[in-house]
Amino acid sequence: MANRRKLSNPLALAVMATLGERPMHPYEIAQVLRQRGKEQSIKINYGSLYTVVQNLEKHGFVEIAGIQRQGNRPERTLYGLTEAGRVETHDWLADLVAVPVREYPAYEAALSLILVLPPDEAIALLGERVATLEVQVAAIRGVLGQLDGELPRMFLIESEYQVHMIEAEVAWTRGFLGELTAGTISGVAEWRSWQESGEIPGEWSEIEKRAVESGIGEEFRERMKEL
């Protein structure tokens, strides 16, 4: 299990990793993250970056390392990583690499509630999703192809991971979509009946009742929590 950290925003980790190279002021940190395309992998709100730096300083992970003066420009405070910050950066990153964390993706949430939509509408929407994702895959593959040989592969691994995950989602969604369209997936007939009549199928009510009485549903949820 991953350790509970004083800060959980991945942007804080990115800031510490960047400051591990040399002291910088927040605006320079933002420039470096943008130049390296980190916003493709980390949700970065550049407007809150100063607040992130202040929180890191509060917890002793960064400290003021100097003042930068350039001509008539306003003075800028440089921040550097403390020894505690170096330890935190290493331990936090090690946890993220080694320990899977439940992340609750939006698509998974949508799938868990998809029965609310009429089946034919769901089929159309899933088709739209697959088409959009295929365009994204082609675009990322195109960029990776252009950069092949120009940059070390280690600079591109997050993009490789991203495209493989999208391709896996496309493959699964396309298979699910095929079953829905063909009507071969179990429960689709009851789904259509519910949407047409507005009444929950008796089979589903019975299944839920048996699951509650036997404790199977609760056991399943508890086992999933352990994963």
Structural domain including 60 reads 10-98
Q: Write down which residue in 48, 69, 98 finishes a domain.
A: 98
Question: How much is the pLDDT for 28?
Answer: 93
Secondary structure (3-state) at 100: coil
pLDDT at 220: 47
Flag whether 4 is in a domain. Answer: no
Interatomic CA distance for residues 167 and 134, integer angstroms: 8
Confidence (pLDDT) at 222? 57
pLDDT at position 214 is 73
Residue 146, Cβ density class (10 Å: 0-12 exposed, 13-18 middle, ≥19 buried): exposed
How far is the C-alpha of 71 from the C-alpha of 204, rounded, in Å? 73
What pLDDT is attached to residue 217?
Answer: 55
SS3 of residue 76 by DSSP: strand
Of 72, 52, 71, whose CA–CA distance to 62 is shortest?
52
Tens of each residue's pLDDT in the chain, 227 residues = 556 788 889 999 999 999 999 999 999 999 999 998 898 889 888 888 999 999 999 999 999 999 988 767 778 899 999 999 999 999 999 999 999 988 899 999 999 999 999 999 999 999 999 999 999 999 999 999 998 888 899 999 999 999 999 999 999 999 999 999 999 999 999 999 999 999 888 888 888 777 776 765 555 455 545 55
Same domain, 68 and 121: no
What pLDDT score was predicted for residue 72?
75
pLDDT at 113: 96
Phi, psi of 68 (to 5 degrees): -100, 130
Question: Would 185 be classed as within a structural domain?
Answer: yes
Q: Say how many domains are in the chain.
A: 2
- At 204 the pLDDT is 82
Give me 226's structure tokens. Answer: 């352990």
| Model confidence pLDDT, tens digit, residues 142-162 | 999 998 888 899 999 999 999
Where among 98, 133, 153 does a domain terminate? 98
Return the CATH number at 31. Answer: 1.10.10.10
Alpha carbon distance 133, 137 (integer Å): 6
